[in-house]
Amino acid sequence: MIRENVTLTFDPEKSRKEIKEVFTNDLARLIWLAVRYGHVVDEHFSKDCLRCARAIERSKKAGKLTAEMLFRILSGFAGAPGQGIIGSSEKDFAAELLPFINGEKTISYEVKAMPKTQEMRRATTAMKVLKKTAEENRILLYGSDPGYHVIAGKDAQIDVGDTIQYEPYGANFGWFIQKLQE
């Protein structure tokens, strides 16, 4: 079910570059808001929303946007080849999203700041890094929950034993913000 009113606990205008790009593109923002709160997403989600928005615009201009075509674009099978942002079993979701894409329905959002204590609890779970895995273009950091990791840039100066602050993003990962002073 698509939420027509979404509350954000961050300001998109003060967020990462990818989020700012999404929120300045009406269609990409609509896709982001519709998909983000009902699906598990990955670190490429914002870029994928922009990619899908371009493909949807092309399909709309050609007069070929149907629920089936929308599903194919969002699932990565047509128009915007690559990793999909919805699963291959979500044709109903695409059909529900189509009236929003066509402007018949809207999704609004409001930015609502969390109380500082809640914000700190959300953003700084005081994760102590127990394992560090370097990849080609990023570092994965693991704490006591082996199913959860934090993604940091490849140049981040973090060692096993450090305590970090991060922004939770998906069901099993978050984005590194900073190393906390001991």
Of 111, 143, 10, 165, give the one whose Cα is nearest residue 175. Answer: 165
**Bridge partners, residue 175, by sequence:** 151, 167
Both structure tokens of 111: 């930015």
User: pLDDT tens digits, residue range 112-131?
Assistant: 865 554 444 444 456 889 99
The structure's pTM equals 0.63
Query: Which positions ≥6 away from 33 have C-beta within 8 Å?
Result: 3, 6, 107, 109
User: pLDDT tens digits, residue range 26-85?
Assistant: 999 999 999 987 776 777 889 999 999 999 999 999 999 999 999 999 988 765 556 678
Domain residue extents for the chain: 5-111, 119-179
Q: Are 34 and 107 in contact (CB under 8 A)?
A: yes
**C-alpha distance from residue 90 to each of 39, 71, 74 (Å):** 11, 7, 9
- The whole-angstrom separation of Cα 71 and Cα 19 is 23
Residue 177: its pLDDT value, please? 84
- With respect to CATH, is domain 119-179 assigned 2.40.50? yes
Residue at token pair 């001991």: 182
Residue 170: its pLDDT value, please? 66
- The whole-angstrom separation of Cα 157 and Cα 87 is 36
